[in-house]
A = this chain, B = another copy of it.
Amino acid sequence: MNMSKKYAIGIDLGGTNLRVALVSDEGEIVRKIKKPSTDQVISEMLEAIHEISCKDIAGIGLGVAGLIDRKNRGVFVSPNLRAIERIDIANEIQGRFNVPVFIENDANAAALGEKIGGAGRGFEHFVMLTLGTGIGGGIVYKGKLLEVSAEIGHMSINAEAEKCPCGNIGCLENYASARAMITRAINMLEKGSESLLKDCCKGNIYKLTPEDIYKAALDGDSLSRDILKEAGKYLGVGLANIINIMSPEAIILTGGLIGAWNIYVQEAIKEASRRAFRDLFDAVKIIPSSLGDNAGIVGAASLVFADASSSVSQYSQ
């Protein structure tokens, strides 16, 4: 890799949005394109790369919402981006733009982004959780991203429960994600529960968002408060498991749900404090991300600048 090249393209290919940015080797975002992820996301991504690229970019880093096939530099499974599954995506991009291309899971890339330029800067060993529609994870150890699946949202916390679309049973994601909260709210409203939520979205409860639930909770709605607290409790079960297994210095939380920090995350911290080994819990800081939605693109770009020997690239010059 030519180290005189100071810019890379970072891509965050999530189930909801596509973000493509030109990022400096210091993690500074120079230009950024954001679009909703559609069925044409691959061609839209290629266009965006063209549009945003400059001369002498050092490479392209791609963070994808899905299970990464590290050996073949592709994506095994991506429930919300079927178009990207089992195709030769990294080599395809590499062929077109003739620069090294690196691929990672989106939550892993976000963890790396927080390490480079966010809330993870002061820590050598932390776990990042992305709390949105689903739950993703990324682990930084000794200052570097662990190149593992880190599918923390698909850790079973209730061995005998409902099946998750991933194939596992009782996954953390089914209890503590935005989707879990919305599902529970709709179920309860359908059963006739009294709640301010009935008046949200012009009465169309199928359009409820986690923000609606949080707002209603702040307005004193007890159903909303219960839903946030229950999801938070289960998040706490997941946090305790992470603490007991990984003994991190910090857990960094990001994603839309951290807007409900005061109820949802506070409940999670309380539950984790009850469950995790006391000494490990006392040693961990549970904090919000500082890069927010930009963590993924910064982290993806930084894959390019990282030591090529410790990354997934097989590019040779």
B-contacting residues of A (Cβ < 8 Å)? 67, 69, 76-77, 125, 137, 141, 146, 148-152, 154-160, 166-169, 175, 234, 237, 240-241, 243-248, 274-280
Contact = CB atoms under 8 A, between A and B. Distances in A.
A176 B241 CA distance: 17
A150 B237 contact: no
A123 to B, nearest CB: 14
Given A76-B277, A158-B160, A280-B149, A168 B69 contact: no
A139 to B, nearest CB: 8
A137 B155 CA distance: 16
A149 B245 contact: yes
B276 A167 contact: yes
A237 B164 CA distance: 14
Contacts of A125: 148
Contact of A154 (B151, B157, B244): B244
A146 B144 CA distance: 12
Which of A137, A150, A169, A245 has the most chain B CB within a 10 Å cutoff?
A245
A154 to B, nearest CB: 5
A294 to B, nearest CB: 25
Contact of A234 (B159, B167, B247): B159
Given A67-B280, A156-B157, A159-B237, A168 B275 contact: yes
B277 A156 contact: no
Contact of A137 (B146, B245, B279, B280): B245
Pick from A240, A246, A275 the residue with the most CB of B within 10 Å.
A275
A1 to B, nearest CB: 20
